Structure 1
Amino acid sequence: MRVVQLTPGTGNFYCGACVRDNALAHELNALGCETLTVPLYLPMVTDEPADDGMQPILFGGLNVYLQEKIALFRHTPRWLDKLFDNPKLLRKLSDRAGMTSAKELGEMTLSSLKGMDGKQAKEIRHLVDWLKEYGHPDIVLLSNCLLSGLAKQIRAELGVPVLNTLQGEDGYLDSLGDPYSDQCWSALKHVANDVDLFIAVSPYYGETMKSRMSLPDHKVVAVYNGIKLAGYGPSQRPDNPPVLGYFARLYPAKGLDQLVDTFIRLKERKSIPGLKLKAGGTATPSDEKFIREQKMKLDAAGFLGDVEFVENLSHEDKIEFLKSLTVLSVPTAYAESFGLYVIEALASGVPVVQPAEGAFPDLIEETGGGLLFKPRDTEDHADTLEKLLLDVTLAQEMGERGRLEVNEKFTVRKMAEGMIEVFERVSAPGDHSIQAAAGV
């Protein structure tokens, strides 16, 4: 079986979807399922070497933008388009991605969901031609539902199943604002008919998107995310002084500002002597103002000296960072579809404290590796963290229990096996209706 996975890149920062898709491709290949990963829009940035089957960038971000804005570029020759798909150029331009307005994002998202009826029809033509000449897939796997506009043309010309991963797109669509949010949701519901099957990264998110996209039960399955365990292992959790940790993108949606507020609350209580905060993760140029604001807040409260910010870590440095924590908490401002950082922390034996919404309740129940608090409630957040930070025995038990459960249930091998099961069932003659979730 040959799978072509289409994954949007970020150009200049690590993202959970890229990391997850790259790890999945490696493991599928290791299991004998030949997999090519094709980056779309921008180069992929992963915390491990990119999949050996990585291909040239298609649906290049600059071409997509120019074709959206200027009709002339919808008719330019391929040799010129290839110049605009140069990875070095796209990587440089990605530094300015944060300057794109919500209106422009809304327009381009809507246009891409319209497929061949949108302004990027030429790019779809190039992509399908490449798949026919070089890809030769038995299955095409789209990394997220924002790519669903590609499905109709791929199925029509290649005659192969098109599957679509669901991994957190609702927050982006909701953030587009009027009128684009409603228009994009409506377009997504329409093009969903062209996708053979949607694969959610958690049962919670499968149910969420099934409802929001008006999908029938047989069109959605769930396969939990997984990680490579190499390098992870029991940590020497610091308890004197304890270290509260955060590892995700350093921006508001992941709740760094709430964690800073909660940390200040804990320091003011003086119940945990010497408490430190370590915040690590991806930071883009557009995040720097927000990070400075958090440092100013901490400085005004008199606690900046107890806090360390670490940006854009390598895979190895990330593992060492996680091992240096007592407890991890990423109080997202939205209902998270999964949260790789939860299982990464648990793989290091570090317990977590997460908001009681999204996929977190399921992950805590599956692993026993942490506690839940009321979403966006700083006082309850502080109380819950305080309980775990003060009870060393409980924290150790939860961390070790979580580590063992992650080793059993949330490995990249487990994820890849679940995906192969889905591939085989959707490829079976006359069987494109999968009723039960796979790999859960």
Structure 2
Amino acid sequence: MRVLHLIAGAGGMYCGSCISGNALVRALREAGIETFLLPLYSPLRTDEPNQSEPQVALGGVNLYLALRFPRLRLPRFVRRWLDHPAVLSWAGRRGETTNPESLGPMCEAMLEGRFASDHRLFDEAIDWIRSEARPDVIHLNNALLLGLAPCLKARLGVPVVASLSGEDVFWRRLPEPYQRRTKDLLRLRCGECDGLAAMNGFYAGFFAREIGIELEGIEVIPPGISVELFAPSAMASSGGGPCRPAPRQRVIIGFLSRICREKGLHTLIEAAGKILARTSRTNDSADWRIECAGYLSRSERAYWEQCLRQVAELGLADRFVHRGELDLSGKAAFLQNLDIFCLPSVIPESKGLPVFEAWAAGVPAVLPAHGAFVEMVEASGGGLLFHPNDADALADCLARLISDAGLRQHHGRNAREWVRRNHTLSAWAGRTIAWYHRVLSRYHAGRSSSTTG
């Protein structure tokens, strides 16, 4: 079997869908599946070794020009220069190229399939796919790319499937009429593809309800991560057992995600302020601090400054450490050094991949009781849930774990073992390969029946 993954780049920022898609391609290759990864819009930025082809299809600059100036006819050498990864990376750094508020028209055009039918922009990609990838299955990394599906199926004669991967984060921020139009087009395009897969039952159900499609048409394929990469050295030296270093006096609470309002860092800071106020009243001498890390875009710097002011106003300056943006080894070391992981997302999460990574390090998590987190915590016993966007409830959960090392170790051990059993990259690849085989069987059966009919 030969598989082509088309993954939308995120304009130079770290993106959970890009990182997970890149990891899945590596896992499929390690499982013996001939797999190709072609970036769309811009080069991928990942924290693991990049598995993508060197070229970019449907470069974002050319797409923008085609939408803004539909009668513009650039020479081929200019279009190819504008699609060069270095140019696209530079353009991504210069502007917020993935900002939903400004991308409504482009999103609509993509879902309508306008760019796929524009031979100036798509022919070279089709030629490369035919000559180099020669796929049996094409896998789109999110449903917002489904406008490509009719063209790909018609010109290449293979099934097209798509992952469901947090599209709601994008469409929630689209202004009207683009938000409504995006959902209408997604409903149409989902009916034209050959398979949809979500990472968990929550997002499968949420997407089906929001878009208005049948839940039975969505497979649930749980994700995997590089589990051993995050194992603390104490685990590795003991053969991978579910142990962590002995509890220390200072408890470190960690936040690792893109720094933006949706991920809820401000809620964690507010909760920390409440814990500090409580301990001051009770003369509690508990020693703890917050460490945060993650990608910070230019558009979120005002939010970050607000968080820093909040830290100062709540008297947390000596209990708050910013570790900046981390590479892969830095991320592993960061997680291995934590006692508690907290990701108080404001909106329901569709994936929760940083939580899987923290759990692989044996770190218990405190998470809001919405989105994928509910079924993750209930299945694993890997932490505590609190009422979403409630700083008092978050403070209560954090205080319980700060004061009880045994409880932290209990939840951390549960989390580590659950991830090791269920969420390795090899398990993810195996589940995905089985899905591809089912898709191919249905596709060829449908073609045979239409031919004989």
Give the TM-score category using the shorter length: over 0.9
Q: Matches of residues 240-251 of structure 1 in structure 2 within 5 Å?
A: 240-251=249-260
Normalised by the size of structure 1, how large is the TM-score?
0.93
**Could you tell me how far 1:135 is from its partner in structure 2?**
2.1
Which amino acid in structure 2 is aligned with residue 392 of structure 1?
A
Q: Helix, strand or coil for the counterpart of 2:182? A: helix
- Pair 1:256 & 2:269 matched: no
Q: Helix, strand or coil for the counterpart of 1:58? A: coil
Q: Helix, strand or coil for the counterpart of 2:230? A: coil
Q: Helix, strand or coil for the counterpart of 1:32? A: coil
Structure 2 unmatched ranges of 5 or more:
233-243, 447-453
Query: CA–CA distance in 2 between the matches of 1:356 and 1:236?
Result: 29
Normalised by the size of structure 2, how large is the TM-score?
0.91
Q: Matches of residues 9-158 of structure 1 in structure 2 within 5 Å?
A: 9-51=9-51, 54-73=53-72, 75-98=73-96, 102=100, 104-116=102-114, 122-158=120-156
Which amino acid in structure 2 is aligned with residue 63 of structure 1?
N
Q: Helix, strand or coil for the counterpart of 1:35? A: strand
Which amino acid in structure 1 is aligned with residue 270 of structure 2?
D
Q: Matches of residues 10-409 of structure 1 in structure 2 within 5 Å?
A: 10-51=10-51, 54-73=53-72, 75-98=73-96, 102=100, 104-116=102-114, 122-234=120-232, 235-236=244-245, 239-270=248-279, 271=284, 273-409=286-422
Cα pair 1:67 1:120 within 8 Å, conserved = no
Query: What CA deviation, in whole Å up to 9, does each residue of 1:62-86 have, x standing for no partner?
Result: 111111111233x434322111011
Cα pair 2:225 2:357 within 8 Å, conserved = yes
Query: CA–CA distance in 2 between the matches of 1:201 and 1:39?
Result: 21
Q: Helix, strand or coil for the counterpart of 2:348? A: coil
Query: CA–CA distance in 2 between the matches of 1:65 and 1:28?
Result: 33
Query: CA–CA distance in 2 between the matches of 1:238 and 1:249?
Result: 28
**Could you tell me how far 1:240 is from its partner in structure 2?**
1.4
Query: CA–CA distance in 2 between the matches of 1:217 and 1:254?
Result: 27
How many positions carry a matched residue from both structures? 431
Query: CA–CA distance in 2 between the matches of 1:199 and 1:100?
Result: 23
Moved more, 94-103 or 124-133: 94-103
Which amino acid in structure 2 is aligned with residue 428 of structure 1?
S
Q: Who is 1:413 aligned against? A: 426
Moved more, 234-243 or 63-72: 234-243
Which amino acid in structure 2 is aligned with residue 67 of structure 1?
A
**Could you tell me how far 1:432 is from its partner in structure 2?**
7.2
**Could you tell me how far 1:93 is from its partner in structure 2?**
1.2
Query: CA–CA distance in 1 between the matches of 2:47 and 2:360?
Result: 17
**Could you tell me how far 1:133 is from its partner in structure 2?**
2.9
Q: Who is 1:436 aligned against? A: none
Query: CA–CA distance in 2 between the matches of 1:158 and 1:102?
Result: 31
Call closer, same or farther: CA 1:70–1:430 in 2, change over 3 Å.
closer
Call closer, same or farther: CA 1:153–1:430 in 2, change over 3 Å.
closer
Moved more, 357-366 or 88-97: 88-97
Q: Helix, strand or coil for the counterpart of 2:227? A: coil
Moved more, 79-88 or 283-292: 283-292
Structure 1 unmatched ranges of 5 or more:
434-440
Query: CA–CA distance in 2 between the matches of 1:99 and 1:34?
Result: 32
Percent of matched pairs sharing the same residue: 30
